[in-house]
Amino acid sequence: MAEPEFTATGVRIGKRLRSLTRAGQVRISDGRLELLTSYGSEIDSAPVQAVRASRPWFAPDDRALADLNGQRYLLTLGDHDPAPGEPGPPAARRFIEAVRRAAGRDSRADRAG
């Protein structure tokens, strides 16, 4: 198995108003996005080309939306990248860029202030 292109731990993953896990994992590896529980069980996964990642309107900077297999998940990552060697999830902005990069989409064209 290749080294993951993106990994975040300690991520709150929710669907609609329901929290699925408060310390989940998000991983992009081998062209797939995986949402995992804190125990490593798969919540959902899909090829990155089929995933839509974005920022929700009027939400804090630590939130990202991921649409996989017809389901919309709200991910609460960090509001800023942790210092090197410090624990904590990376910023939501970095997750969105990683999805676009892995899918072959140019993230620079989609940036909004």
- The string of pLDDT tens digits covering residues 15-71 is 988 999 999 999 999 999 999 999 999 999 999 999 999 999 888 888 999 999 999
H or E, element range at 93:
helix 92-102
Question: The sheet that has 71-76: what strands, in order across it?
Answer: 42-47, 32-36, 18-29, 6-15, 71-76, 63-68, 52-54
Question: What is this structure's pTM?
Answer: 0.82
